[in-house]
Amino acid sequence: MKHLLERIDLRGESEGSIASSIAGLLPRPGGSDAEVVKAVSEIVEQVRLEGDAALRELTLRFDGTEPAALEVSSDELARARAGLPGDLRDALELAYQRITEYHRHQVPSVSEVDLGGVVVRDMVVPVERAGLYAPGGRASYPSTVLMCAVPARVAGVGELVLCVPPGSDGHVASVTLAAAAIAGIDEVYCVGGAQAVAAMAFGTETILPVDVIAGPGNRYVAEAKRQVAGMVGVPSAYAGPSEVVVVADGTVPAEWVAVDLLVQAEHGPDGLAWLLTWSEDVADAVDYAIATLLPTSKRREELESTLASGGYAVLVDGPSEAMAVANEVAPEHLEILTERPRELEVLVRRAGAVFLGSHSPASVGDYLAGTNHVLPTARSARFASALRVDDFCRRIHSVAVSDDALEALAGPLVALATAEGLEAHALSVTTRTNRQAT
């Protein structure tokens, strides 16, 4: 029987050998795909050289439409918010409140330390202008608008700019515009893909350049952010196609596990959906549940595409081996659907976000947990975290030295400067003290 989740049997493998056994299956950032790198490089250069004209041509080429105007008017934003069904507007406003409440706890504080008369203060300063990206095309993502805008607003960023690809009618979805209005975004542009990232980085006749670019997208968007990093700030996470790893022991209904795998898979191609279990019966039951759910899904094409390229059921000897696999994958979302999930939580070393227990689906984190759903993908959870307030801030340290402190430090300062052959460095100390340069 053909399994919808390709079966990988790691039973009998030691935790130390797991990494090599699954190395070829692990996701890789777009930078490892030469075709993506080349295509994005050409788009970025075209936008840099041609500005708005490039945005219009590329939007027509990739989205099949040409918006009447690149910028969405403030009147259109207001109409979108006013026109929302009441229950949906209430849901978006609730999400905005909860996301704001959580992110306020991330606000970094000014710190000061006195090192014997040398007072060092770390000042936290927000960037002036932040560029945000929300995907479109296959679906609308008003929640992503909130997830990107809120930490920037909490950080104190002065101007928020949002780019969203247009639909087939040449307009950004009304629900997305309504979310932008709720979040208080200053400028919204009807442009998506790598070209949107390039426009925010370099600027065009219509779009002024930004200081930081944040937000998830497909591998072309993620690669574009990688290419402009350094020109603008880009959070270290690679926020690409969606991923989930579910650890299950059979105490949670197979249908729940199957749905949670499909939740991330329905975002479309290039993502991953992995089931980790030490029970062959669980693997069989989840596979059957997926086969039952697929035919009725409105996003069947996206689901089948993701499962075909990134859907796996991995059999291991036990919980610790399952967590070893999870840490090697370093997934965007990790769900631990076991009888005692806290016992496995302590083994987590690499993941964007973790969801514990039968009633904590990742969907709660996508919308109303308050946490951010812009998460590291393609194994960047090895070194990166969810989008945070810090990503929109700079830390600037100031140094104030007392007369006595400079006198006390003059000898070591002069010695170090002299060793490096930097005469003026030493002179800047000796001219202020009684110490002579040697």
Active site residues: 332-333
CA 100 to chain CA mean position, Å: 17
- DSSP-derived pairing of the beta strands 129-133 and 159-164: parallel
Please state, as a whole number, how many other Cβ atoms lie within 10 Å of the Cβ of residue 415: 13
CA-closest candidate to residue 323, choices 339, 346, 307, 340: 346
The amino acid that residue 413 corresponds to is L
Spatial distance between the Cα atoms of 264 and 409, rounded to a whole number of angstroms: 58
The answer to whether 264 and 355 have CB atoms below 8 angstroms apart is no
Q: Using an 8 Å Cβ cutoff, are 208 and 173 in contact?
A: no
Tokens, residue 69? 């105007």
How many residues are present in the chain?
438
| DSSP character at residue 323 | H
Contact 199, 191 (CB under 8 A): yes
Amino acid at 307: L
Angle between helices 34-50 and 219-228 (to 10 degrees): 60
